[in-house]
Amino acid sequence: MATTQAVAPAAVDTRLKSIPEHFAQDDSQSCIPFSVATAAFSDTKQVTDDIVAKSGFAGYFENVHPVQIELCISLIAESFRKLRCDLQRTKPGQKLRRIKATGHCQKQLDFCTGMLQEAGLIRSEGDELIRTDKPAPAKASKEILDQLLEEHPTVASLNNLIYLAGSQLGNIWSGRVDSIRAIIGDTNGRQYLEDVYGPAHPSKAFHMLIEDYVARLLKEVHPTETQKLQVLELGAGTGSTAKWLAPLLASSSLPVQYTFTDLGSGFVSQAARKFQEYSFMEYRAQDIEQPPPTELVGTQDIVIAVNAVHATRDIVQSLRNTRQYLKPGGIALIMEMQERLCCSDFIFGLFEGWWLFEDGREHAIAEDVFWKEAFLKAGFTHVDWTSGNLKDSGVQKVFMAMNGGSVAS
């Protein structure tokens, strides 16, 4: 049975007072009425726990995450041993050899060292690390992985990704292997990563929330051939979100255009091949940290970004850029991690983008209150987000923010 905790209903900030219920049917205004956008999101919020449970993600914190912590700790201990810092052979009270990493990976190493401290295996005294009397992990990481794969097959891609990253830590920290290449350069690693961002847990349940909301909108909006429903995705990467939305948009039979964008031209060209069956899709390279090109300013009804905005230097500026794509009354759908899972820093801490933030955050993952203020500072006028009573429902959240003012500020 899933562990639950009471979660206060998400606060809604509404500063949108003068948007008419139905916009004039021209290209300068969104075809999504304010009342439709907000009512549909309210309905999706109400079924957050149901969707999380239906996806098979309920019970993650109770049953899976503790074993993932065990797996991470075992992998860290094994990596330390490869770098001549053997927790098994070091006596209680003895100083440990201090390991250092190259570049941004030092921060990920610091996180891993912190995990060993939280597990009670080491303690710090000034700049020194001291071995405690707690026994080193008895189970090998491969044994723990096999247990996870057998008992929790729905989380297989994430567990395999943890193991793949962890088995390379020694080489990554020492600079013998590039951290990006160690994961994305591996065929299995690319597939695990694509799964984790899209059809597999922990993203599956929250993509289902986006799908539920967009499906509700599609039933209520009335775009025309001269005013198509304009949808743009920022930081679309491997196309994990497009895999959910493209079939949904196609099944609606509504006039629609879906613009797929990413900073990486390689991702964009791959997406053009992957989604070639959808004639309503367009592709272009675009950086979420840069303002939109002039021809895209104020053109979109919906802008989507999934686990992309956190990996920028300044969330407010990135959201301001996002808002500039929107027509007045347009919607931003932003899905972001909310819980600091052990695997987040363990895996994604190996990517430089995880540590780019320069906007006052203490961590790449920020709480919903921080996001609310960021949306408002960026000029959005209505902010809401998914919430539920299941702790698992808060692992990621879908934020819905509306553009009620000028598109150019």
**Are residue 323 and residue 384 in the same domain, yes or no?**
yes
Token couple for 346: 């363990």
Q: Is the dihedral of CA 287, 288, 291, 297 positive or negative?
A: positive
Last residue of a domain, one of 179, 197, 215: 197
* Per-residue pLDDT, 13: 45
| 409 occurs within a structural domain | no
**Are residue 393 and residue 271 in the same domain, yes or no?**
yes
Is 47's pLDDT higher than 80? Answer: yes
Q: Mean pLDDT for the chain?
A: 92
| 117 occurs within a structural domain | yes
Token couple for 382: 């209505």
Which tens digits make up the pLDDT trace of 137-150?
A: 999 999 999 999 99
Q: If pLDDT is split at 50, 70 and 90, which confidence band does 408 have?
A: very low
Which tens digits make up the pLDDT trace of 211-249?
A: 999 999 999 999 998 899 999 999 999 999 999 999 999
User: At a CB cut-off of 8 Å and minimum separation 6, what does 84 contact?
Assistant: 97
**Are residue 241 and residue 222 in the same domain, yes or no?**
yes
**Are residue 218 and residue 332 in the same domain, yes or no?**
yes
Read off the pLDDT of each residue in 65-75 and give the average, rounded to a whole number.
98
Is 5's pLDDT higher than 70? Answer: no
Contact 337, 365 (CB under 8 A): yes
Report the distance separating Cα 315 and Cα 350, nearest Å. Answer: 20
Which tens digits make up the pLDDT trace of 387-398?
A: 999 999 999 999
14 has which bridge partners?
A: 382
Q: What percentage of the chain carries pLDDT values higher than 70? A: 92
Read off the pLDDT of each residue in 141-167 and give the average, rounded to a whole number.
98
Structural domain boundaries, residue 143: 60-197
Q: If pLDDT is split at 50, 70 and 90, which confidence band does 26 have?
A: low
**Are residue 151 and residue 255 in the same domain, yes or no?**
no
Which tens digits make up the pLDDT trace of 239-292?
A: 999 999 999 999 999 999 999 999 999 999 999 999 999 999 999 999 999 999
The DSSP string of 66-108 is: HHHHHHHHHHHHHHHHHTT--TTTSPTTPBPPPP--STTHHHH
**Are residue 92 and residue 22 in the same domain, yes or no?**
no
* Per-residue pLDDT, 320: 98
Is 45's pLDDT higher than 80? Answer: yes
User: At a CB cut-off of 8 Å and minimum separation 6, what does 315 contact?
Assistant: 309, 357, 359, 361, 366, 370, 371, 374
| 324 occurs within a structural domain | yes
Q: How many domains does the chain have?
A: 2
The reply to whether the predicted model has a pTM over 0.75 is yes
* Per-residue pLDDT, 27: 65
**Are residue 184 and residue 254 in the same domain, yes or no?**
no
Q: What percentage of the chain carries pLDDT values higher than 90? A: 90
| 285 occurs within a structural domain | yes
Last residue of a domain, one of 175, 197, 219: 197
**Are residue 101 and residue 167 in the same domain, yes or no?**
yes
CATH number, domain of 350, equals 3.40.50.150
| 102 occurs within a structural domain | yes
**∠247-248-249 over CA atoms, to 5°?**
95
**Are residue 252 and residue 393 in the same domain, yes or no?**
yes
The count of other CB atoms within 10 Å of the CB of residue 251 is 10
| 1 occurs within a structural domain | no
Last residue of a domain, one of 148, 178, 197: 197
**Are residue 260 and residue 168 in the same domain, yes or no?**
no
Our measurement of the distance from residue 125's CA atom to the centroid of its chain's CA atoms, rounded to an integer in Å, reads: 35
Which tens digits make up the pLDDT trace of 357-373?
A: 999 999 999 999 999 99
Q: Over the range 200-229, which residues count as b (16 or more CB within 10 Å of their CB) and which as e? A: bbbbbbbbbbbbbbbbbbbeebebeeebbb
Report the distance separating Cα 82 and Cα 35, nearest Å. Answer: 59
**Are residue 270 and residue 191 in the same domain, yes or no?**
no
